[in-house]
Amino acid sequence: MACGAIAGHVTGIAARNDWPVDVRALPPLLHNRPDRIAGRVEDAVTELRARYATVAVAFADCGTYGALDEVCARLRVPRLRGAHCYDVFAGASRLAELLAQEPGTYVLTDFLVRSFRRAVVTELGLDRFPQLREDYFRHYRRVVWLAQYPTGPLHTAARRAAEFLGLPLEVVTVGDQGLERELRALVTGWSADPGASARSPRPG
């Protein structure tokens, strides 16, 4: 069960590693209401357990301040390590270094670059009230795009996002190896249980 913001990457990584998993995604815009994430994850895990022998959670903490950990512990399901997907993609130490260099860093991933208009501009009401941009972003000094696959169109979209915010853009190519490493840890946990099947539904 994956966050919709990384579900495409999870699916691609699983396919290239031939992992026997199905990926189910929750809406990525839940990140704008992180107080709802833990409850939605609990509902999804409960539903999936009726059909699957093993379930894991491809979410980091994502602003739940431990609420997701409480759900995962109670339901006995693992989740991705890290405070957010930025940690997962870049590595916690590398991200900490970037933020130490410039605390006023606004971070984008490929998903946020693609969905900037919807996830940021529309969701924050900046299309209707552009004067709010200064209120939201006055303390930021740069945009850092943690690029998984920095294609030409994504470069263009990232530049437009940074221009909209009135900030310089820096591109840090991180790939998806960090996510793959964390997913591999989840899959290794499944394989340690010889009776578990991540793809085969429960009988009956």
What letter would DSSP give residue 203? Answer: P
- pLDDT on residue 186: 86
Q: Please work out, in degrees rounded to the nearest 5, the angle formed at the alpha carbon of residue 96 by the alpha carbons of 92 and 98.
A: 120
One digit per residue, pLDDT tens: the chain, 204 residues?
999 999 999 999 999 999 989 999 999 989 889 999 999 999 999 999 999 989 999 999 999 999 999 999 999 999 999 999 999 999 999 999 999 999 999 999 999 999 999 999 999 999 999 999 999 999 999 999 999 999 999 999 999 999 999 999 999 999 999 999 999 998 876 543 433 333 333 333
- pLDDT on residue 110: 97
| 106 close to 142: Cβ distance less than 8 angstroms | yes
User: 130-147: buried (b, 16+ CB within 10 Å) or exposed (e) per residue?
Assistant: eeeeeeebeeeebbbbbb
C-alpha 157/C-alpha 162 separation (Å) is 9
Sign of CA dihedral 82, 84, 90, 92: negative
3-state helix, strand, coil in the chain (%, to 5): 50, 10, 40
- How far, rounded to the nearest angstrom, does the alpha carbon of residue 23 sit from its chain's CA centroid? 14
Residue 200: CB atoms within 10 Å: 13
Burial class (CB in 10 A: 0-12, 13-18, 19+), 175: middle
